[in-house]
Amino acid sequence: MGTREGMARALQDLPSGMVRWASAPRESLPRRTTGVTVLDTLLGGGWPRGRMAVLRAAAPGAAGRTTLATAAVAATTAEGRTAAWIDGDASLDPASLAAAGADLSRILWVRGPLSLESTLAAAEEVLAAGDFAVTVVRPPEGSARGGATAGWVRLARGAERARVVLLVLDRGGTAAAAGGILVRVGTLQGRWAGLPGPGSLLVGAEVPVEADEGAADLRLSVAETLDGGGPPPAPARDERPAVPRPSARPVGVARPWWAGVRGAGSALEFSP
Amino acid sequence: MKPANNRRTIPREYACALATALPLQALLRSQPDLAGQPLAVVAGEGTRAILAHASRAARALGAVPGMTPSQARSVAPGVLLRPVAPPVIAAARQALVDAALAFSPEVDACDADAVVLDVRGTRGRYPTPEALGCALEAACARAGLRVRVGIARGPRLARIAARARAGVTVLPPGDEAAALADLPIDALDLSPALADTLGHLGLRTVGDLARIDPRGLGIRLGPEGMDRHRLARGIDESVITPLPPSESFEEAVALEWTLDRLDSLVFLLSAALDRLSARLEGRGMAPAALRLDLDLDPEGTHTVPVRPPAPTTDLRSLLALIRLALEADPPPGPIRGFTLRAEGGRVAGGQGHLFGPPVPPPSRLALLMGRLGALAGPDGVGAPVVLDDAGSDSASLAPFAPRALPETRSPVPPAPGRAGPAAPPLALRRLRPPLEVAVRLRAGRPAEVQGSGPAGPVARAAGPWFAEVRWWAERPEAGACWDVEVTGRGLYRLWQDLRSGRWFVDGQYD
């Protein structure tokens, strides 16, 4: 077949619309486990290496992106590999990573708050290093609309060159326009134990997940320490705004926070 | 039997690096924008001030060393007259020593403008003395200094060779006398009395002195004359006293004007940082910490410390960190100079495993950490840590330094009855700072969340879990934690401050 004929045939085989010539077909890419069996099945083995995956909330009240990203990072670090989390809005909870079984010493956390440009620049640097099997990027608040489309395209290319997994926790912005696979999470439905009222306990949640390959309902649990295990994780507080303090000291003895507080509650008593 | 002493079997060889007009070079080194201009260095003050050094452009205009400033201005009105602060000269001198230390651990700062180093045993790396001399010259050039290099069998001969000619001068072993013969006799560093005596005797060159019969020379010329005679004949048995390696790396800049713009200061800092980094690199180190002392006008000092996440040679990241630090802690007034000090650190080495999962190599990781630190701040990059202390922020950062593992781990199956990969735990997306909301209660339990953020009726709530934060403090904080499902908005964690009664959204289960 001559060159001209070959080119003509190739042009005929092209689908309509924009095509990225340099990218390998998605089906041929190796996969890395998502950390969630159902999602692995849905995506044909896991997150594709060398391709950007955008996790988007499909509706108000939709949630689950952070959990999916946490599961991927936990699975990666459990294998002994390293992962990076570019935290544009300073929302990462290390306790959640630890509860998911992640090896925190193998996670590089770039803690915000950062501008969108700094977030993208940090992600580019991490991808250029090529040493992190999974990179999670969470853009800062307020970056949902427009802006930095070229930055997302560069990130997608960076993931392609480095052949690593890139997860973007998109807020409905322009990340998805840069290509890659799109996973949409629906509204999170809590699963509760006990009767409504005192004694009620959040034990998990369900969230519908939709990808180009199909849809599935993910069943999520609350951190294992609540499932009849030890005390709940300490309700950590970060950077609380200053609160006015009463002039008098509290009286009475405050019970340890883990003692008999499941719904029934005991209270600290303060004198005015 | 005496043990063999290898050093005695290797012929002696010394190199001298001489920085001519060191104060002038130090000034140009600290202020590169003066290069090419008619520039002269003024020494002394008041009526005793004279031109100590002059650049080629200044000489071309007629301003030469020895003139008073007024004389220089009268013959060359366009000449720039500058004093040079001692810290600037000291920094240049130390840079010369650092450049020499890259070639030999035995360096003697014999003169104010020269160093002599013992280069025995370097033949394996530099096949010829000329190659060594060129490498030393290049190393000094990278440090911002133009030097003359002399190489000979003795340190004093090496100094004479360096002072005699520009470039690299090698005195051939065994033929030093012939190489020195044509030099003026002043090259032997004579005292005024001896120079006068030799002048009266009609001795004009080093060769003239070398040809004199040494018998009776001591009586006529004294010990100094004998010493210079041996030197003229190429005999030099002196030794050097090596300096202890300095651990202080600093670069100073003193300005004739004041700076009040950050961009101008950063421009000068960039050059100083480049010089510092080059000196550290010659010692196999990288800047691990920096301290910037800004000299304020009219007086005072403002200190700004900078610590990169890891020792790094990436100047762009270091400069960005310095800029961030200056923006966070700006000087209270104009600046008339600065001293930049660096603490050297070694880029961590590491040995990976052949079959284990890859970890970032330390050198590349240090570079990455520096660049990320420039974007997120030096305290914004690291490995997450959960603090085992309910009384403080549960989240913190530790240095990111993953260990190399011998093999890739297999996923650990979950314990019986525990959740596994099919049901991963819900992650919390924290709100930093927590979002204050109003909560309407019913029977003491949240019924509705009001305000910005997740507003709406509460479908279900779990809690409260009480916590006392910083119980050891005089005024401990205390609060209650709730998990709530806001209809149509999702799952949230609420925090109620029991002292003030205020409610906050701590995070969202996402």
Q: What is the pLDDT of residues A5-17, one digit of tens each?
A: 666 666 665 554 4
State how far the Cα of A198 lies from the Cα of A195, in Å rounded to an integer.
8
Residue A108 resides in a domain: yes
Longest CA–CA span in chain B (Å) reads: 118
Q: What is the mean pLDDT of residues B76-92?
A: 91
A115 CB within 8 Å of a chain B CB: no
Lowest mean pLDDT among B6-20, B76-90, B393-407: B393-407
Over 90: is that where the pLDDT of B163 sits?
yes
CA distance from start to end of chain B: 81
Q: Which of A237, A255, A250 is nearest to A95 (CA)?
A: A237
State how far the Cα of B167 lies from the Cα of B173, in Å rounded to an integer.
19
Half-sphere exposure of B96 (CA within 13 A, CB side): 30
Nearest to B433 among A201, A241, A255 (CB): A241
State how far the Cα of B323 lies from the Cα of B316, in Å rounded to an integer.
11
Per-residue pLDDT band at B297 (split at 50, 70, 90): confident
| Same domain as B133, residue B61 | yes
Q: What is the mean pLDDT of residues B285-305?
A: 90
Residue B371 resides in a domain: no
For residue B107, the cross-strand partners are: B117
Chain A residues inside the 8 Å CB shell of B469 = 237
Half-sphere exposure of B94 (CA within 13 A, CB side): 22
Over 90: is that where the pLDDT of A70 sits?
yes
Over 50: is that where the pLDDT of B476 sits?
yes
Residue B409 resides in a domain: no
| Same domain as B300, residue B228 | no
- Please report, rounded to a whole number, the percentage of residues in chain B having pLDDT higher than 90: 43
Residue with tokens 């004739």: B256
Two structure tokens written together for B300: 């005072």
State how far the Cα of A41 lies from the Cα of B141, in Å rounded to an integer.
63
Nearest to B467 among A80, A99, A235 (CB): A235
Length of chain A, please? Answer: 272
State how far the Cα of B188 lies from the Cα of B175, in Å rounded to an integer.
17
Give the amino acid at B65: P
State how far the Cα of B120 lies from the Cα of B123, in Å rounded to an integer.
8
Q: Which CATH number covers residue B257?
A: 3.30.1490.100
- pLDDT at residue A14, rounded to an integer: 54
State how far the Cα of B105 lies from the Cα of B244, in Å rounded to an integer.
9
Average pLDDT of every residue of chain A: 73
Two structure tokens written together for B297: 């006008």
Residue A241 resides in a domain: no
A66 neighbors A89 (Cβ within 8 angstroms):
no
ipTM of the complex: 0.72
Q: Which CATH number covers residue A45?
A: 3.40.50.300
B167 Cβ contact list (under 8 Å, min separation 6): B137, B148, B149
CB atoms B428 and A263 under 8 Å? no
From chain A residues 126-185, the ones with a CB under 8 A of any chain B CB are 126, 129, 131-133
- pLDDT at residue B411, rounded to an integer: 56
Residue B397 resides in a domain: no
Q: Which of A75, A205, A178 is nearest to A134 (CA)?
A: A75
State how far the Cα of B144 lies from the Cα of B248, in Å rounded to an integer.
18
How many independent structural domains does chain B possess? 4
CB atoms A261 and B384 under 8 Å? no
Length of chain B, please? Answer: 510
Two structure tokens written together for A164: 């690593």
Q: Which of B230, B202, B254 is nearest to B90 (CA)?
A: B254
| Same domain as B45, residue B162 | yes
For residue B148, the cross-strand partners are: B18
| Same domain as B324, residue B340 | yes
| Same domain as B217, residue B260 | no
Nearest to B462 among A75, A200, A267 (CB): A200
More confident position, B135 or B476: B135
Chain B residues inside the 8 Å CB shell of A268 = 466, 468, 478, 498
| Same domain as B298, residue B223 | no
| Same domain as B285, residue B335 | yes
Per-residue pLDDT band at B2 (split at 50, 70, 90): very low
Residue A79 resides in a domain: yes
Two structure tokens written together for A143: 């970056």
Residue B455 resides in a domain: yes
Where does residue B243 fall: left (phi above 0), alpha (psi -120 to 50 degrees), or beta otherwise?
beta
- pLDDT at residue A243, rounded to an integer: 39
Chain B residues inside the 8 Å CB shell of A232 = 465
More confident position, B282 or A267: B282
Q: What is the mean pLDDT of residues B342-363?
A: 71
- pLDDT at residue B208, rounded to an integer: 92
Chain B residues inside the 8 Å CB shell of A108 = 372, 381-383, 400
Q: What is the mean pLDDT of residues B101-121?
A: 90
Per-residue pLDDT band at A271 (split at 50, 70, 90): very low
| Distance (Å) of CA A227 to CA B21, B55, B493, B497 | 78, 81, 18, 26
Q: Count of CB contacts below 8 A, A vs B?
A: 303
Mutation target vs A (from B353, B392, B428, B469; most A CBs, 10 A cutoff): B428
B463 neighbors A263 (Cβ within 8 angstroms):
yes
B317-336 burial code (b ≥16 CB/10 A, e <16): bbbbbbbbbbeeeebeebbb
> pLDDT for B10-57, tens place per residue?
788 999 999 999 999 999 988 888 888 999 999 988 888 999 999 999
Half-sphere exposure of A17 (CA within 13 A, CB side): 2
Residue B67 resides in a domain: yes
Residue A257 resides in a domain: no
Using the 3D structure, point to which of B146, B172, B198 is the last residue of a domain: B172
Instruction: Return the number of other C-beta atoms located less than 10 Å from residue B136's C-beta.
Output: 26
Residue A161 is part of which domain span?
29-225
> pLDDT for B112-159, tens place per residue?
899 999 998 887 888 899 999 999 999 999 888 999 999 999 999 999
Residue A271 resides in a domain: no
Two structure tokens written together for B242: 């090596």
Lowest mean pLDDT among A93-97, A179-183, B23-27, B152-156: A179-183
Residue A250 resides in a domain: no
Give me Rg for the CA atoms of chain A.
23
Half-sphere exposure of B132 (CA within 13 A, CB side): 27
- pLDDT at residue A258, rounded to an integer: 37
Lowest mean pLDDT among A56-60, A225-229, B122-126, B447-451: A225-229
Instruction: Return the number of other C-beta atoms located less than 10 Å from residue A240's C-beta.
Output: 17
Give the amino acid at B448: E
Lowest mean pLDDT among A62-76, A246-260, B78-92, B197-211: A246-260
Q: Which of B270, B287, B282, B283 is nearest to B367 (CA)?
A: B287
Residue B297 is part of which domain span?
249-345
Over 90: is that where the pLDDT of B346 sits?
no
Q: Which of A239, A257, A100, A108 is nearest to B395 (CA)?
A: A239
Over 60: is that where the pLDDT of A236 sits?
no
| Same domain as B187, residue B151 | no
Q: What is the mean pLDDT of residues A53-79?
A: 88
Q: Which CATH number covers residue B151?
A: 3.40.1170.60
B262 neighbors B272 (Cβ within 8 angstroms):
no
Q: What is the mean pLDDT of residues B254-275?
A: 87
Instruction: Return the number of other C-beta atoms located less than 10 Å from residue B252's C-beta.
Output: 22
Nearest to A222 among B398, B426, B464 (CB): B426
Pairing of the two strands B80-82 and B39-43: parallel
> What is the least distance, in Å, from the CA of B441 to any CA of chain A?
12
Q: Which of B110, B104, B101 is nearest to B10 (CA)?
A: B104
Peptide bond into B298 cis (omega under 30): yes
Compute CA B279 distance to the chain's CA centroid, rounded to the nearest angstrom: 7
| Same domain as B203, residue B228 | yes
State how far the Cα of B218 lies from the Cα of A47, in Å rounded to an integer.
91
State how far the Cα of A159 lies from the Cα of A156, in Å rounded to an integer.
5
- Where would I find the beta strands (DSSP E) of A44-150? 47-48, 51-57, 83-87, 107-111, 134-138
CB atoms B466 and A267 under 8 Å? yes
Nearest to A63 among B409, B460, B491 (CB): B491
Residue A150 resides in a domain: yes
Residue A157 resides in a domain: yes
Q: What are phi and psi of B296, to 5 degrees?
A: -90, 155
Give me Rg for the CA atoms of chain B.
35
CB atoms A235 and B488 under 8 Å? no
